[in-house]
Amino acid sequence: MIRTAVVTDVPVIHAMIRELAEYEKAPHEAVATEEGLRDALFGAHPALFGMIAEDDTTGEPVGFAVWFLNFSTWRGTHGIYLEDLYVRPEARGGGHGKALLLELARIAVERGYSRVEWSVLDWNEPSINFYKSLGAVPMDGWSVFRLTDEALSAAGAR
């Protein structure tokens, strides 16, 4: 059901990223290209890792997860930051999302990483409830900050 992504998966990963952006009501923000994803996942210095969830009967991709390493100075170990986890609507409820997340947990434990982290939109109650059912806890009291576009350019030019 879950396998490591290969270079021929890039078009389907790209398509599912677009689907996720639609679901999250921000399709205009999903500007990644297949070429950029291919380089990030499979270039000379991969910075992103991917997994594919396949339908047990057809073998067709129905979901994906992409992640990268982060580091906790407090714990002194790497962790996994789950950038995206998505399962196509027609495959939801089939255990694919859980299998993807449990595979990430397995990788973290196997490699001695101290955590798996991700962000979820505060209106996405189905996902929040799913994550809580696995024992995940929200990081209350923390806010995500981001520099992009003009603000990033301005800060980088100082």
Which residues are known catalytic residues?
A: 131
AA letter at 32: A
Contacts (Cβ under 8 Å, ≥6 apart) of 87: 53, 62, 63, 94, 96, 97, 100
Q: How crowded is the C-beta side of 1, counted as CA atoms within 13 Å?
A: 13
H/E element, 116: strand 116-118
Compute the distance between CA of residue 53 and CA of residue 100 in angstroms, rounded to an integer: 7
DSSP letter for 28, please.
G
Q: What is the CA radius of gyration of the chain?
A: 16
Q: Is 144 helix (H, G, I), strand (E, B) or coil?
A: coil
